[in-house]
Amino acid sequence: MRRLTDRAYWDATYTAQSHVDVASPERQVGLVRRLFGTRGAEYMRHYPDYVLWDALYANYLPRSKGNRVLEVGSAPGEHLLQLSRTFGYDPYGVEFSRQGVEVNRRLFAQHGLNPGNVIHADFLSPAFQDRYKDSFDIVVSRGLIEHFVDLEQVIAAHLHVLRVGGHLVVSVPNLRGINHALAYFFNKSTLPLHNLSIMRRATFCSLFSRDELSSVVCRYYGTFSFGIFNTAAGSPKRHIRRVCAMSQNIINLLLRTAFGTRAPDHPYLSPYLIFMGIKKG
């Protein structure tokens, strides 16, 4: 199975907290809250996150406290932390980057979660698959499967560790259309690290057309976001991206005010695709 990234790439990504992007919309929340108050900050909340948590997760994830959730490629760990806080899940992560494991364990320890629940392993290895067969109530991966060429084994591995009746959540960035042009402008070296062929809705959804899997939702979401783009370290384009990221607050406000969670999505604009489904017996 051919990977488009390697362990060294992810180690470098997480070294010295390099996963934190100071230009991302999320990093502007504190400033926005100080300027516009709590209500203003809520309406300028990153729009794809608002749709994900307040529409998709709120409507389709189970509310049972204590459910075991595994995130594949979990570093830095904020998503698991929020799942734990929002739904009362027992969070687990698996990372094959040593640096990513350290970042994730440190975050868990800071927030009273068990750092031992962050597993340093190759998720696709027979050892991990055998050890955790049918172990989790929810399996999540975000921005993971697009780094592989052949997806059959990758999707099967997600299902192998998910119990019958459990929920599968898989999302990828959408780097087609205007998003492709912007990704090329800001940092074209990242594009070959992604399997762009799966970033069409029909192709993406077909990955989950399996007898043992019942589809709940498969769609684009988020309308538009500068948050999916990055720049190379030291690139002068980082200043342009920072301005774009600041403007995302206004985009968030307009979309939230006009549409709530129902802003229109488009294959060439929306930043993400997501599948949510349930494993059948």
Amino acid 18: pLDDT? 44
At residue 33, the pLDDT reads 57
Cα 133 to Cα 162: distance, rounded to the nearest angstrom: 7
pLDDT of 39 reads 72
pLDDT in the model for residue 24: 40
End-to-end CA distance of the chain: 27
pLDDT score at 120: 98
pLDDT recorded at residue 30: 57
This prediction's pTM: 0.92
pLDDT score, position 111: 96
Chain-centroid distance, C-alpha 139:
12
Q: What is the CA radius of gyration of the chain?
A: 18
Q: What is the pLDDT along the chain (281 residues), one digit of tens a residue?
A: 689 898 888 888 887 444 344 334 444 555 555 666 677 688 899 999 999 999 999 999 999 999 999 999 999 999 999 999 999 999 999 999 999 999 999 999 999 999 999 999 999 999 999 999 999 999 999 999 999 999 999 999 999 999 999 999 999 999 999 999 999 999 999 999 999 999 999 999 999 999 999 999 999 999 999 999 999 989 999 999 999 988 999 999 999 999 999 999 999 999 999 999 999 98
Give the integer Cα–Cα distance in Å for 23 and 5.
24
Element (H, E) at 118: strand 118-120
Under a CB-based contact definition with an 8 Å cutoff, are residues 167 and 277 in contact? yes
Tell me the two tokens of residue 133: 């067969």
Domains and CATH numbers, the chain: 7-279 (3.40.50.150)
Question: How confident is the model at residue 12, as a pLDDT?
Answer: 84
